[in-house]
Structure 1
Amino acid sequence: MLIYEYKLDGTQAQYRAIDEAIRVTQFIRNKCLRLWMDTRGINRNDLQCFCSQLAQEYDFAILLNSQARQAAADRAWAAISRFYDNCRNQKPGKKGYPQFQHDCRSVEYKQTGWRLEPDGRHLTFTDGCGIGRLRLIGSRDLATRPLPAINRVRLIRRADGYYAQCAIQAERHIEHVPTGKHTGIDLGLKAFLTDAEGNTVANPRHLRKAERKLKRLHRRLSRTQKTSQHRKKARKKLAKGYLKVQRQREDFARKTANALITSHDLIAYEHLRIANLVKNRKLAKSISDAAWGRFIGWLTYYGHIHNIPVIAVEPAFTSQDCSACGARVKKSLSVRTHICPSFGVVLDRDHNGARNILAKAYRTVGQTGTGEAQATPNASGQNASTRSGRKARTGKRAG
């Protein structure tokens, strides 16, 4: 499944119609959630049937396409099923009880309610919301795509405009050019990553660099009066500032992951529990700013389409053990250099950790025969990594 995203060019009336469709989606999702809370034994099919009842009771709900209403019900059921799974798996802490949504920003159409024009540059929405014909701004050509290949169309409202995402039924594969190089990577905050050869990638710190501007925008927002036009403008400028940081993180994670995959035949990394790491209030902002999760997601994705192994290993003692002799050398977070008293090896802490990560991957799957099986994703196609070790630790040093 591939997602093509385009910016939408339309009139203000069309944008208001998209906003109305998004509000209806939020209304149906919350109504389905209320039905589940009030009635025992509700399943996904019951929520789908409940959509037709809402369309009969509310005049504005029937304007939205029937399959778009069902997609809104699917969102409610996704939150419910996630809560059930967390309870069934005895997830520690909060189980994620479904909450009512107040800031919905998208509406999703399935196979009906929209039409791709023959030129591949316009989308026409045919339901009762009155969205009409919108021009797609982007570099990818949809004119050569057969209509059945587009499974879904999602309209999204962002701080800088409106966007359309087209879900294309296709598999992406790239012919990988073998390099004969294997490496392990150690993620950190001083350097974003350090590989087994000692090469480092600097931490870009996008949020830290934008903090001064964002604080100024926050002050401007706090000085405006509620419900005023100045407040709306200030909110929009602040949202654009955060959107820019988000896109910078995404672009950096994608390009760094792609560069690593194209230059290696095997990559090992630590399976980090980032949700537990950010509980450290002194390092939470820096960890979130580094966006390790996005980077690992892109790394496993590119590993899958290049058909090379991307292996997740247990992070226990990767910074403490000596990569040369295996002796355990205890060190605090402030100690950035590994010095082995037995062999006299002196390495950067992260370099030593990266070498241990690669060695763990070799011990788990073997240096040879680590081909396609290790890089094959699960049924959903969203996880292309092989996790080694019995159970990953819940935390790791952040430096």
Structure 2
Amino acid sequence: MLITYCYRIKPNPEQVVIMDNWLELLRRHYNYALGQRLDWLRRTRCQIDRCSTVSQPIGEIPDKVDYYTQQSDLKQTKQLFPNYKNIWAESQQVNLQRLDKAWKKWLFPDKSGKRGGRPKFKKSGQMRSFVFPRVNNPKAGAFLENGVLRLSKIGPMPVIMHRPLPVGFNLKQATIVKKADGWYVCLSLEDDTVPSPLPLDEVKSTVGVDVGLKEFLTTSLGETVPASKPYRTAQNHLARQQKFLSRKHKGSNGYKKLQNKIARIHQRVGRVRENFHYNTAHKLVKRYDLIAVEDLNIRGLARTPLGKSILDVAWGSFIHKLEAVAVKCSVHVVKVNPHGTTVDCSNCGAKVPKTLSMRTHECHKCNAVIDRDENAARNILQRALNAVGLMVSAGGGLGDAQPMKPEAWGWNGVQTT
């Protein structure tokens, strides 16, 4: 099992200059290596007897460029550019591994037939992190002991250990990240033991979750969680700062200072959203043994007129966090096809078409009247239980669990950011 803990570090001014220099040198090397690959692809993309001598000049056919050839060229790079000798060798290798991973995602589709975008050249300042692939190892470049992080060729620096490292996990790698408000170290930890999910015959509490914009989520028991919209709350302030930035001379000290201020606003928006997602996920996981959610096409929904609001609530990010939290707590998370969950009646199965403005489900066949989101959540739960082979009543849930008021979740309807 792999987890990542992020801590803030306090480097001195000299160390900040060294790490900034590392990031810039790694960025240049990344761009050079990417240029090598693109040039090789351009020269060898078709057979030599089929190339056009007009639009494609035929020159010397270069050897194949991959991670291993570029890694072997690191020795020559250090001879031509001595500054690269000051960078930990394994960090340079990981930099090339990142490029190789992005390159393969672009050229070769995954199991579902999807491919990533073409790797892009990084502009100045876009390289934000470098990696030490080994920690607390005799041959490692990073050591963490008693709240002090010692990096090879950089030196020791204090770490703000706001929470202790979990017992039984081994430190695998350290990623030094530059953010808008300072420097951080992301520690990857590994434990050989993997929590096994709860057996299905021992599942006692289940819930279906329907996500939305008015209410962030509605459960099959009628519980609701108000939507947190951090970007909508901050967008007016953000727009003013971006307007001021447009009047600054690009590259000036005032421009860079205001640019960092805008980055801090975006950082706060992301942190508020992340904290809300984790709190909600933990509340669900602590109360239920099986959680049913929709397998939504977020990219497709983001192209609709409601795209900004959909990206603000970040359903996909929440479901991803919910799955991660559920794995650690041995809870089942089942994704189901969302098609028809709002239209179908959870009581009798009849089709009841609705528009977005219709917030109540009124079945013409069985006369059931409930909230449309609760009706969808019950359908989601029914499909999930059918998928795993469990039975559920028409009202949703196993046993005699009763709906709880929203106050039981800790929300009183007032949004705070």
With the shorter chain as reference, the TM-score category is: 0.7 to 0.9
Q: Does the 8 Å CA contact 1:32/1:50 hold for their aligned counterparts?
A: no
**Residue deviations 1:180-226, cap 9 Å, x none?**
22011011111111110111111011111111221222122222222
The letter for the 1-side match of 2:259 is R
Offset, 1:179: 8.1
Return the match for 2:84 from 61, 67, 71.
Answer: 61
The letter for the 2-side match of 1:24 is L
Q: Distance in 2 between matches of 1:258 and 1:87?
A: 31
Offset, 1:320: 0.6
Q: Does the 8 Å CA contact 1:193/1:201 hold for their aligned counterparts?
A: yes
Farther off after superposition, 43-52 or 251-260: 43-52
- Asked if 1:323 corresponds to 2:346, the answer is yes
Q: Distance in 1 between matches of 2:369 and 2:197?
A: 39
Q: Distance in 2 between matches of 1:224 and 1:270?
A: 45
Q: Distance in 2 between matches of 1:175 and 1:340?
A: 37
Give the corresponding residue for 2:4.
Answer: 3
Give the corresponding residue for 1:116.
Answer: 143
Offset, 1:174: 10
Q: Distance in 1 between matches of 2:110 and 2:133?
A: 31
The letter for the 1-side match of 2:159 is L
- Asked if 1:197 corresponds to 2:221, the answer is yes
- Secondary structure in 2 aligned to 1:86? coil
Return the match for 1:334 from 352, 357, 370.
Answer: 357
Q: Distance in 1 between matches of 2:268 and 2:91?
A: 30
RMSD of the TM alignment (CA)?
2.3
**Residue deviations 1:276-325, cap 9 Å, x none?**
11111x21110110011221111111111111211000111010110011
Alignment: residue pair count = 358
Inter-CA distance 15–145: structure 2 relative to 1 (3 Å threshold): farther
**Residue deviations 1:129-185, cap 9 Å, x none?**
xx2211101223469889xx3221111111100111111222575998x88220110
- Secondary structure in 2 aligned to 1:362? helix
Runs of 4+ deviating beyond 6 Å: 143-146
* Identity across the alignment (%): 31
- Asked if 1:218 corresponds to 2:239, the answer is no
- Asked if 1:188 corresponds to 2:212, the answer is yes
Inter-CA distance 233–331: structure 2 relative to 1 (3 Å threshold): same
Inter-CA distance 123–287: structure 2 relative to 1 (3 Å threshold): same
Q: Does the 8 Å CA contact 2:23/2:128 hold for their aligned counterparts?
A: yes
Q: Does the 8 Å CA contact 2:102/2:116 hold for their aligned counterparts?
A: no
- Asked if 1:159 corresponds to 2:186, the answer is no
| Unmatched tracts of structure 2, length 5 or more | 42-63, 392-417
- Secondary structure in 2 aligned to 1:6? strand
Q: Distance in 2 between matches of 1:141 and 1:339?
A: 52
- Asked if 1:84 corresponds to 2:107, the answer is yes
Farther off after superposition, 10-19 or 264-273: 10-19
Bigger CA radius of gyration:
2
- Secondary structure in 2 aligned to 1:367? coil
Task: Provide TM-score, normalisation by structure 2.
Answer: 0.80
Return the match for 1:96 from 113, 117, 134.
Answer: 117
Give the corresponding residue for 2:313.
Answer: 290
Q: Distance in 1 between matches of 2:343 and 2:167?
A: 55
The letter for the 1-side match of 2:35 is R
Q: Distance in 1 between matches of 2:196 and 2:225?
A: 25
Give the corresponding residue for 2:267.
Answer: 243
Q: Distance in 2 between matches of 1:162 and 1:236?
A: 14
Farther off after superposition, 41-50 or 150-159: 41-50
Q: Distance in 2 between matches of 1:188 and 1:346?
A: 19
Give the corresponding residue for 1:257.
Answer: 281
Q: Distance in 2 between matches of 1:105 and 1:96?
A: 20
- Asked if 1:35 corresponds to 2:36, the answer is yes
- Asked if 1:209 corresponds to 2:230, the answer is no
Q: Does the 8 Å CA contact 1:4/1:165 hold for their aligned counterparts?
A: yes
Farther off after superposition, 205-214 or 242-251: 205-214
- Secondary structure in 1 aligned to 2:108? helix
